Structure 1
Amino acid sequence: MGGPGVSERTSVGLDVHARSVAAAAIDGVTGELVQSRLTPSYDHIAGWLRGLPGPVAVAYEAGPTGFGLFRYLTAAGIRCEVVAPSKLQKPAGDRIKTDAKDAIHLARLLRLDEVTAVAIPGVEQEAVRDLVRAREDCRADLKRARHRLSKLLLRHGIVYCGGAAWTGQHDAWLRREALPQLGSPVTRLAFDSGYESVLATKARRDRLDEQIEQIAADSEFTPLVQRLGCLRGISTLTGLALAVEIGDWHRFTGGTIATFVGLVPSEYSSGQLRAQGSITKTGNGHARRLLVEAAWHHRARYRIGKTMRDRWNLAPAAARIRGDEGNHRLHQRWVRFIERRKRHTVANVAVARELAGWCWSLAVMDD
């Protein structure tokens, strides 16, 4: 009955979209194939599944529809797998793709137990992850709003030369000096619109930062965030983001965590030829960006300042010692890359790859 490792009689593949669901069911005893077009209603899907010869196993691809269907079916006592799309085996010569064919393909792979399931985040983890990603989106929005305003002034020959931009001094210059230089009242309206957008987006970012700080200080993720903070470049925001993006760190090792975030070199080898290319950039792109940004902090000479000591005071002694070892090691890696005249972007990715391993060692450490 079914394939290796599959105990259910009927294997079901669902191609889930926002407004429709293509379903295909294969009976492991009779070999009969049943297809249907369903609505996205969880009740409708579960009702259709109950009409099939049981027990039933279901698989659908991870995507923008999230994990609500998985949680609903699991609560109803139906085994459900959320499959990693990048790990699905597909015939190289197949050039026809439809929702119905995708559902059948999923059902067949599930029957053979040839699917790779993704890790399902907990409800609280997913909620915090949404908040952290909202802050990331807000950061990008603020960058775009600032660029629009500065380029508006640049088109009229107005350039700030008084130091770093977007400081209190720069803000005063925008209101007192830049605005009066715009001759047309219509252009001033455009400036007001851009300036208000900058202020509103910055206020939204600050509110999100405050909420994230509160969650990081008092939640189930607090011990992990405090341990990760023993490494340079891992602030409270970065630590919480890594905690909720990675989820269960114990499913990795110090070597495989870099593969998950796409920081390992791609490889095209055949016979005696071994050729490595750029990093794969597979897996969790949010975590990869955070690690790459954090790796830049290890380029400067390692000194233990007040900020680092404050973080260490929140973490266990073993985490402090481990973090200090990692900080020394990662800075020395930067020094060697500079001595070898490696391109800084290439060197930083290599440091980020090793930083992922140090983060893992702190994450799996006992509290």
Structure 2
Amino acid sequence: MFERTSVGLDVHARSIAACALDSTTGEIIRQTLAPDDVTAWLERLPGPIAVTYEAGPTGFWLARTLAGAGIECQVAAPSRLLRAPGDRVKTDKRDAMSLARMLRLGEIVPVRVPTADQEAMRDLCRAHAAAVKDLTHARQRINAMLLRQGAVYPEASHWTRAHSAWLGRQHFDHPAAQAVFESLLEAESLAVQRRKRLDKLVASAAADCEYTPVINALTCLRGIDTAAGFGLAAEIGDWTRFTGATIGSYLGLVPSEDSSGQTRRQGAITKAGNSHARWLLAEAAWIHRRPYRRPGVRLLKQWELVDPATRIRAQEGNQRLHRRWEAFDARNKASTKANTAVARELAGWCWSLAVPLQQGAAMKAA
């Protein structure tokens, strides 16, 4: 649909700078608005109108509000916005004007706007990841302090009941050191409790949500447990937007490139797109380096939840990804680079499992 008025919004927590371009009269309308006044101001503009704003910390509530009011709104991907190299003046009004002009020219690359339920699931998976990282850091601090004091646990396995009992027997002569050690143990205990609570919430949400079939399929791959499968499903959402070749690009797992003429240079991965999904895939890729001859107990239980075609496809993926690791190790490839390559291919296998399920669900809904 042709829009008479193109509107760019520079959104902040307490104020929004708006710029509207009327293509019929050429008029430029600028306004500084409170967040609650945006919809009413837009409805007074000559229509039809289209609106865009840059994705950022304010989230997607404004896009959902405008969509509910029947106003077309695109949330622009920040990394794909056009900016002149010589433009060194940045203000809210200029940003709003730039967004309005790009929208008029059709140069906005939109991001997918999740529903409120989908955003809540995304927040849950990120909270779980944060809890896991906090627990890791808490344990690292305990290990670091013990190492500085010359206390080394004699066994190879850590954070077991025996290790916890050994930690409880440690004592330091200086009161300050003992107080710090007890504080670190308390922080680790609280982090464990928090992670366990979020584990239960993730398991409950994954078992009964719109992404449950996709999660069950993704967890048929090695390295992807319920939390990782839930995170990938919530972060990516609609897998049918991509192909097996473009999913790696979306996740920033493809090499950057600087080529001109007959010269072709490739560098590190772009790290574009969803950083949390990329991290989940990179962590899962390390598991495929381990020997794989037959599925373990977890995979066998998981395979009971999916159809035979998904089970066969997942088994092919597990075997293929392990062979890739073996080939990289045989070539003495740097492990970090090899893991990135395996993560990129793992993204393609995840896509091949998720897309048939979502396409089938869409056909049934139609």
Q: TM-score, normalised by structure 1?
A: 0.94
Provide the rounded CA distance (Å) in 1 between the counterparts of 2:221 and 2:136. Answer: 27
Provide the rounded CA distance (Å) in 1 between the counterparts of 2:146 and 2:66. Answer: 55
Unaligned runs of 5+ residues in structure 1 are 1-5
Correspondence list, 1:1-367, <5 A: 7-41=2-36, 44-176=37-169, 178=170, 180=171, 182-302=172-292, 303-366=294-357
- Residue of structure 1 equivalent to 2:363: none
Provide the rounded CA distance (Å) in 1 between the counterparts of 2:296 and 2:2. Answer: 58
- Deviation track 1:93-140 (CA, whole Å, cap 9, x = no partner) reads 212111110000000111112111101112221111101100111111
Q: TM-score, normalised by structure 2?
A: 0.95
- Deviation track 1:133-190 (CA, whole Å, cap 9, x = no partner) reads 00111111112222222223333222223222222211110102x1x2x012332222
- Which residue identity is paired with 1:9? R
Larger CA deviation: 351-360 vs 164-173: 164-173
- Aligned to 1:269, the other structure's residue is in SS state coil
- Which residue identity is paired with 1:353? R
- Deviation track 1:25-57 (CA, whole Å, cap 9, x = no partner) reads 11111111111111222xx11122122222221
- Which residue identity is paired with 1:64? P
- Aligned to 2:73, the other structure's residue is in SS state strand
- Aligned to 2:35, the other structure's residue is in SS state coil
Provide the rounded CA distance (Å) in 1 between the counterparts of 2:270 and 2:35. Answer: 34
- Deviation track 1:261-300 (CA, whole Å, cap 9, x = no partner) reads 1100111100000111111111001011111111111112
Provide the rounded CA distance (Å) in 1 between the counterparts of 2:12 and 2:209. Answer: 34
Provide the rounded CA distance (Å) in 2 between the counterparts of 1:205 and 1:246. Answer: 23
- Aligned to 2:90, the other structure's residue is in SS state coil
Provide the rounded CA distance (Å) in 1 between the counterparts of 2:146 and 2:330. Answer: 42
Provide the rounded CA distance (Å) in 2 between the counterparts of 1:352 and 1:58. Answer: 36
Provide the rounded CA distance (Å) in 2 between the counterparts of 1:77 and 1:217. Answer: 34
- Which residue identity is paired with 1:349? T
1:360 Cα deviation from its structure 2 partner:
0.1
Runs of 4+ deviating beyond 4 Å = none
1:312 Cα deviation from its structure 2 partner:
0.8
State the identity as a percent: 55
CA RMSD in angstroms, aligned pairs only: 1.3
Unaligned runs of 5+ residues in structure 2 are 361-366
Provide the rounded CA distance (Å) in 2 between the counterparts of 1:215 and 1:345. Answer: 33
Larger CA deviation: 222-231 vs 153-162: 153-162
